[in-house]
Amino acid sequence: MDTVAATRTAGAIGSEVDQAPSAQSPGPGSSLQPQAPEPSGSVLGTVLAVDGAGVADAQITLTNIASLQQYTLVSEENGEFAFSSLPPGTYLIAVKAKEFEPYTSPEFKISSRQVYELPKIQLSIATQRQMVVVRPTEVIAQMQVKAEEKQRLIGVLPNFYTSYVWNAAPLNTRQKFSLSAHDVFDPGTLLGVAAGAGIEQANNSFAGYGQGAAGYGKRFAAGLGDDVIGSFLSQAVFPSILHQDPRYFYQGSGTIKSRLWHALSWAVILRSDSGKSVPNYSYLLGGLTAGALSNLYYPRSDRGVGLVFTNFAIGVAGQAADGVFREFVVKHLTRNVAANGKP
CA distance 235 to 290: 12
- What are the start and end residues of each CATH 2.60.40.1120 domain in the chain? 41-122
Residues 43-63: tens digit of each pLDDT: 999 999 988 999 999 999 999
- Decide if pLDDT at 309 tops 90: no
pLDDT at 301: 82
CA distance 245 to 275: 9
pLDDT at 292: 87
Residues 151-175: tens digit of each pLDDT: 999 999 999 999 999 999 999 999 9
Listed range (4-13, 34-43, 79-88) with the worst mean pLDDT: 4-13
Put simply, whether the predicted model's pTM sits higher than 0.75 gets the answer no
Alpha helix stretches (DSSP H) within 204-304: 212-232, 238-242, 256-264, 281-293
Dihedral sign for Cα atoms in the order 255, 261, 262, 264: positive
Burial of 229 (0-12, 13-18, 19+ CB in 10 A): buried
CA distance 224 to 204: 18
Residues 271-290: tens digit of each pLDDT: 999 999 999 999 989 988 98
3-state secondary structure of 132: coil
Q: Which candidate, 278, 180, 167, places its Cα nearest to that of 233?
A: 180
- Decide if pLDDT at 76 tops 50: yes
Strands 89-96 and 59-64: antiparallel
Specify the DSSP class assigned to residue 209: G
Number of helical H runs and strand E runs in the chain: 10, 17
Transcribe 77-93 into DSSP letters: TTSEEEEEEEPSEEEEE
Predicted confidence band at 304 (pLDDT cuts at 50, 70, 90)?
confident
Mean pLDDT across the chain, nearest whole number? 86
- Single-letter amino acid, residue 224: L
Share of the chain above pLDDT 70, in %: 87
CA distance 325 to 91: 76
Q: State the average pLDDT over residues 15-24.
A: 38
- Decide if pLDDT at 24 tops 60: no
- Decide if pLDDT at 32 tops 80: no
Q: State the average pLDDT over residues 19-33.
A: 39
CA distance 288 to 312: 6
Residues 168-209: tens digit of each pLDDT: 999 999 999 999 999 999 999 999 999 999 999 999 999 999
CATH of 41-122, one of 2.60.40.1120, 2.30.110.10, 3.40.190.170, 1.20.1260.10: 2.60.40.1120
pLDDT at 135: 74
Q: How many degrees, rounded to 5, is the angle at CA 33 between CA 31 and CA 34?
A: 115
